[in-house]
Structure 1
Amino acid sequence: MLREMSENDFIVSKTDTKGRLTYVNKIFIEMAEYTEAELLGKPHNIVRHPDMPKTVFKLLWERIQNKQEIFAYVINKTKNDNAYWVYANVTASFDTRGNIIGYYSVRRKPNPEALALIKPLYEQMVQAERSGGIAAGEKILDDLLHKEGVSYDEFIISIQK
């Protein structure tokens, strides 16, 4: 079953530098169908859906480890094998000396029109990754961005509006 966030919902989570959950808000708990105790200390990928391209996570980790934020559309899997889409913003958290001490993510309901573009794109990327690895998924994404004449950020942000 596909679950849907409401317009005013924000899913918030924090992780350590290894991606283990250190904080989850109530909406995250409800959407993921886990208890707080089942989530805290676990890898954030506990909610990773198999329909999610590995390419997007590679890009996400590259960005946040380089102290850059990223926006991405993500499909998550719940404890009960349901799914839900989010529009995510992920950033690094820093100590007073500018060192990364963890990561912070805020997710909201994605624009349905954006998902109409993202779903088939992700399907293509996942198919390509099955036979050609992440490089094949990257090629599909890069070809689309080149065709559209935009950067990844420009594309992702423009379709959320």
Structure 2
Amino acid sequence: MARNETLTGVERFFDDDEIIVSKTDPTGRLVYANDVFLRLAGMTEAETIGQPHSVIRHPDMPRAVFKLLWDTISSGKELFAYVVNRSKNGDHYWVLAHVTPSFDTNGKIVGYHSNRRTADRKVLENVIMPLYKKLLDIENSHANRKDGMNEAYDTLLKILEEKGVAYDEFIFSLQS
């Protein structure tokens, strides 16, 4: 599906009692998206199912955070992370995502399940947005995208090491 790559700068919101839910296969292709996901993404179910979850990736979301996410969930662990997503029309919306692997009876990962809730505005503005800007600046300072992502990833790991916490602990420490 061709996407409009224009960003509007308009932020979309959803209610605190709403949960965005999606499920993917092991490669990250969407197999389920609830009505809240579809509404915020501005997409129909037909446009969504079978697409890579990255169909809603916002260019201001550091690739290093997605590397951490994929490294974590593909190893069988869950992860909480703040994410900015992009709607089909170029709007954006922030979420606090909880991503977990789904296993078959033999313990093999058969897909991933993500629940997203509203993001804490104060945490976004005071911690996450500045951190993500720093990581993006590092990523964009390299001609080679993979080198940029890896340097930003190493920077993120150093920040966590200096704080003496794992990523989930860092995210939980930000919650009020």
TM-score range, shorter chain: over 0.9
Corresponding pairs, count? 161
Q: Gaps spanning 5+ residues in structure 2: where?
A: 1-9, 143-147
Q: What do the CA deviations read for 1:2-47 (whole angstroms, capped 9, x no partner)?
A: 1112111100000001101000000000011001110001000000
Q: Which runs of 4+ in 1 moved over 4 A?
A: none
Given that residues 98 and 115 in structure 2 are in contact (C-alpha distance below 8 angstroms), is that contact kept between their aligned partners in structure 1? yes
Residue 130 in 1 paired to residue 131 in 2? Answer: no
Identical counterparts, % of pairs: 48
Letter in 1 for 2:128: I
RMSD: 1.2
* Corresponding position of 1:142: 157
Q: Gaps spanning 5+ residues in structure 1: where?
A: none
SS at 1:144 equivalent: helix
TM-score when normalising by structure 1: 0.95
* Corresponding position of 1:39: 48
SS at 1:73 equivalent: strand
* Corresponding position of 2:5: none
Residue 61 in 1 paired to residue 61 in 2? Answer: no
| Cα distance in 2 for residues equivalent to 1:151 and 1:95 | 27
| Cα distance in 1 for residues equivalent to 2:61 and 2:103 | 28
Deviates more, 1:132-141 or 1:107-116: 132-141
| Cα distance in 2 for residues equivalent to 1:148 and 1:66 | 23
* Corresponding position of 2:11: 2
